[in-house]
Amino acid sequence: MRELTLLEAVREALREELERDPRVLVFGEDVGRLGGVFRATEGLQSRFGTDRVVDTPMAELSIAGLAVGLAMRGLRPVAEIQFADFIHAAADHLVGEAAKIRYRTAGDWTCPLVLRTAYGGGFRGGPYHSQSVEAFYAHVPGLKVVAPAFPADAKGLLTASIRDPDPVLFLEHKLTYRRVRGPVPEGEHLEEIGRARVVRTGDQVTICAYGMMLHESLAAAEALAAEGVEAEVLDLRTLLPLDRDAILASVRRTGRLCVVHEDTLTMGLGAEVAALVCEAAFEELKAPPVRVAMADIGGIPVSDPQEDAAIPDRHRIAAAVRGLAGRSSRRGRSAAPAAYDAVIPAAASVLEVALPAEHLERVLAAVVEACGRFPACNAEFTWDGIRLHPEVRLDLDLGPHAPARGGGTFTVVDYGAGSSLLGLPAVRPGQTAALRVGSVRQGRAWLALSVDHRAVDGGEAGRFLGCVKELLEA
C-alpha cells in the first residue's frame, strides 16, 4: 500500500493497463503532450508513444465516435472528455450507439469503451465547467456509470471499466483529484463494478452519496456522532447499475434514508434511490426519505459565495440528518415488541379546581389551549423518538351510555355528576396524556392527569394542570 491522490491512482490505472494490454488506447483533448487539463495522463505519451496516447481536436462528437468504432474493431479505447459539461455533444454516439450495440445485435457485438470525464463544482469553473451530469446518463440502459470517491476505488474501478465488455462512463470529481489521498494497493487492483460499500457504520440513518459528496457526508456523520446521532454512510461507487441489495440492507438496519448528491434535485439520482427504497422497504422505514441536493438552478454561479451556497456541504447534510433522525412515522412503533406497545407506563398528577356544574365546554377549550402551550402532552411516544402532533384533536369519553370518540391526540374523561370524585384515566396508544374530570361537588372538582412518563415528566404534567386550572378559574 502507498498513499496516492485520486489523480495519481487514475494515472496509475491507465499506465498499468497500457502496459498489460496492447489493445488499450488513450485519446482526447490535450491528453498527450500536456498530460490532460488536470494532468491525469501526464507522462503517458512519452512512455507509450503517439500511436497509443493521442491528442485529438476539440470535437467531443468525434472523440466518442472514434471510441465506438475502435471498440467494435476489437480495441479497448479510453477516451477523455475534458469537462463533463462538454459530454452532451458526444451523447449521440454514447447513448444512441455504444449503449445499444449489445441489445441491437442480440449480443453478437459489444462496445468495450471507457469515457472518462471530470465533473462537479467547487473549483470556481463557473456554469460551463462545473456540471454534474450523472443523472442524464444513469438513465441509459446498456451503459455503466461509475463515480469513485477514494483513490483505491478510482484505480480498481477504472481498471475494471477498461476490461469490461460494455461501455462505461467514468466520472472523476475535480475536487477529489488532489484533495483526497488514501492507500492504494501496489500492482493489479480490481474493484467490482456495481457494488456499493459501507464506509462508516451506524444504526440511526443511512446516508447514500458518491464522489465529493461522499466526503462531505463522512464529515457530517462525524459531527453528528458527537451529538449522539450515528449515521451509516454508504458509498454508491457505481450509479448504473445501482447496488440495490446494499442500499436496502443498510436502510433496513437504520430505518431512515438521506441521499446526497451535487446534481440538481429534480429528477436527480436521489429520487431513484428514494423510490427504490420506498418500493422495496416501505414497511421498514421509520420516516420519509430525505434528499440533499443542489437547487434547480441553471448552472454553478460565477460568484464564489453563490457557488458555495448552491453546492451541498457537511453543514447542510448534518442539518438534514438531524431533522430526519428526529422524525418518525406511526409505522415506527412496529420497531418495538408488541408487548411494549400494549402497556403504556403512566404517571399521574391531581389538582383541585373550581368548576360550575356546566363545565365540559370550558374544560375542552382549556385543554386545547394547554396542549398548545405544552406540546409534549399532545404527542406520541415511539421507539424512535417523541412525535409531536401538528394539531389538537380531542377524544371524549363521557361514560358507558355515550359513544366514545376515537382517533384523537388527547383524551378527556368526564362521567358527569354521578361519577366518583377522583379517578385516573388511561393513556391511549398514540397519545401521551389523558385528563379525567371528577364529579363536581359544591363548585369544586378534582382534575387527574395521566401521562406517558417516557414523553412527559412530572414537572411538565404539573405545569399543564396548572395552566388548565388557571384558564378554568379565570
Tell me the average pLDDT of the chain.
92
* pTM, to two decimals: 0.71
Same domain, 368 and 398: yes
- CA 321, 325, 329, 335: dihedral to nearest 10 degrees? 130
For residue range 337-367, what is the model confidence (pLDDT) as tens digits?
433 444 688 899 999 999 998 899 999 999 9
Question: What is the identity of the amino acid at 261?
Answer: H
Is position 311 within any domain? yes
Could you tell me the sign of the dihedral formed by the alpha carbons of 208, 213, 215, 217, in that order? negative
The burial class, CB within 10 Å (0-12 / 13-18 / 19+), for 52 is middle
| Residue 261 known to be catalytic | no
Sheet holding 231-235, edge to edge: 197-200, 231-235, 205-209, 257-264, 290-294
Is position 315 within any domain? yes
Return the CATH number at 464.
3.30.559.10
What grid cell was written down for 464?
Answer: 399543564
Q: What is the mean pLDDT of residues 125-143?
A: 94
Residue ending a domain, among 327, 353, 375, is: 327
What grid cell was written down for 275?
Answer: 423510490
Same domain, 145 and 221: no
Predicted pLDDT of residue 401: 61
Is position 385 within any domain? yes
For residue range 235-287, what is the model confidence (pLDDT) as tens digits?
999 999 999 999 999 999 999 999 999 999 999 999 999 999 999 999 999 99
Categorize the per-residue pLDDT at 22 as very low, low, confident or very high, splitting at 50, 70 and 90: very high
For residue range 147-179, what is the model confidence (pLDDT) as tens digits?
999 999 999 999 999 999 999 999 999 999 999
Predicted pLDDT of residue 418: 82
For residue range 366-382, what is the model confidence (pLDDT) as tens digits?
999 999 999 999 999 88
Same domain, 242 and 165: no
Which H helix or E strand runs over 95? helix 91-96
Say which residue the cell 474493431 belongs to. Answer: 73
What phi, psi does 94 have (nearest 5°)? -70, -45
Q: Is 423:317 a contact under the CB 8 Å cutoff? A: no
Q: Is 221:325 a contact under the CB 8 Å cutoff? A: no
> Which residue is catalytic, options 93, 129, 215, 453?
129
Question: How many domains, in total, are found in the chain?
Answer: 3
Residue ending a domain, among 293, 327, 361, is: 327
Is position 279 within any domain? yes
Pairing of strands 410-414, 433-437: parallel
Same domain, 113 and 206: no
Is position 190 within any domain? no
- In whole angstroms, give the CA distance from residue 408 to residue 265: 36
Same domain, 69 and 206: no
Same domain, 32 and 98: yes
Residue burial 182-201, b: 16+ Cβ < 10 Å; e: rest: bebeeeebebebbebeebbe
Same domain, 375 and 448: yes
Same domain, 151 and 204: no
Same domain, 267 and 125: no
Range of the domain at 19: 2-184
What phi, psi does 332 have (nearest 5°)? -60, -20
